[in-house]
Amino acid sequence: MKDGLKISRRKLPHWELGGSVYFITFSSITGALPDEALRIVLETIKYDHNRKYRLYIALAMPDHVHLIIQPLIKEENKCFTLSEILKAIKGISSWRINRLLGKSGQVWMAESYDRIIRSEKDFIEKWNYILINPVKSGLIESTEDWEFVFIPD
């Protein structure tokens, strides 16, 4: 199912085409988060896998998160929007992270980077980019060592 192309803009352009697969990155507003906060955001992302979207991969870094997802149909042949999906992920994980840290307020930047994946080559490039991110950042030596990644079966 493909909804019509929708283009919007804040600081970044956002292109949305129902049924497409997306590479998404969103960042912490405060910098590095503790490990337990990374676990929380991954748990939150996992929750709506096969409910609102098909999740291909999710990886949490100390200060940002990468996803490859495909929104699912919700009603009347319309897919969940990226806005709906990210509002839920950011809102629920923010509430839980703030509770963990004894804080309040925004955890994630309001705007996210999103890109429609247009080919298998593009998908593989984004997949590899996500997995190598903790290595390139100097956090680990091998991708297998990063604990904050989820790849559904």
Domain boundaries, given as residue ranges, for the chain:
20-137+145-150
Distance of CA 7 to the CA centre of its chain: 19
CB-CB neighbours of 43 under 10 Å = 13
Give the CA distances from residue 141 to residues 23, 100, 133, in Å, rounded to whole numbers and listed in that order: 24, 29, 11
Q: Are 72 and 22 in contact (CB under 8 A)?
A: no
pLDDT in tens, 51-98: 999 999 999 999 999 999 999 998 877 889 999 999 999 999 999 999
pLDDT in tens, 108-119: 998 999 999 999
* Maximum pairwise Cα distance, the chain: 47
Is 20-137+145-150 a CATH 3.30.70.1290 domain?
Answer: yes
Q: Are 61 and 137 in contact (CB under 8 A)?
A: yes
- Residue 153: partners with Cβ closer than 8 Å, 6 or more residues away: none
Tokens of 106: 């925004």
Distance CA 9, CA 15 (A): 9
pLDDT of residue 6: 72
Tokens of 15: 């292109």
pTM beyond 0.85, yes or no: yes
Mean pLDDT of the chain: 91
Partner residues linked to 115 by β-bridges? 23
